[in-house]
Copies of this chain bind each other. A is one copy, B any other.
Amino acid sequence: MSDLDPSLPWLDALKWDAAGMMPAIAQDEASGRVVMFAWMNRESLQESLRCGNAVYWSRSRQRLWRKGEESGHVQKLKSVRTDCDGDVLLLAVEQIGGIACHTGRESCFFLELQGDRWVPVDPVLKDPKDIYAK
C-alpha cells in the first residue's frame, strides 16, 4: 500500500475499498478503551462531521446507522485520524452513557481469550432491557 497523499482533497486522499467502505475504530477519549468497530462510507463520514456524532454505514441494513439512535448512547466526535496509508479511520469519541455495546457494557470488546474459551471479562453496566425499552 502506498502512503496517503496529503496534497489530495481530504475525502479523496482516503482509500475506500472496492465497496466504497472503510473500517472505523471508535476509542473513548476519556478511558482510552477501544469501544467499537464498524464501517463507514463517504456519506457516513461526512454526516458524522456535519452532525458531530459518529454515524456509521450498516452493511447489513444498507443504510446510515446513527450510533445511539435507539439507546441514546451516541458518540460525540472529538477528532478523526487516519493511518499512514489512509485506509482506516480512528475516531476519538465521548461515549455518552459510558456504554457502547448493545449488551450494556462499556466496550464491545469484552470477550477475552483465556485458554480455549472466550470469557466475558467486563461488567454489564445496564440491563439491555432498560436500554432499549420504550
Contact = CB atoms under 8 A, between A and B. Distances in A.
Nearest to A13: B118
A113 B86 CA distance: 11
Given A79-B112, A111-B83, A88 B37 contact: yes
B83 A113 contact: no
The number of times this chain is found in the oligomer is 2
Contact of A116 (B9, B83, B103, B109): B9
Given A1-B60, A32-B32, A118-B13, A113 B37 contact: no
Interface residues on A, range: 35 or more
Interface string A79-120: 111111110101000000000011100001111110011111
Given A23-B23, A25-B34, A113 B9 contact: no
B118 A82 contact: yes
A110 to B, nearest CB: 7
B37 A25 contact: yes
A49 to B, nearest CB: 8
A7 to B, nearest CB: 9
Contact of A112 (B80, B88, B110): B80
Given A6-B119, A84-B101, 5 more contacts: A6-B117, A6-B120, A25-B25, A36-B83, A83-B110
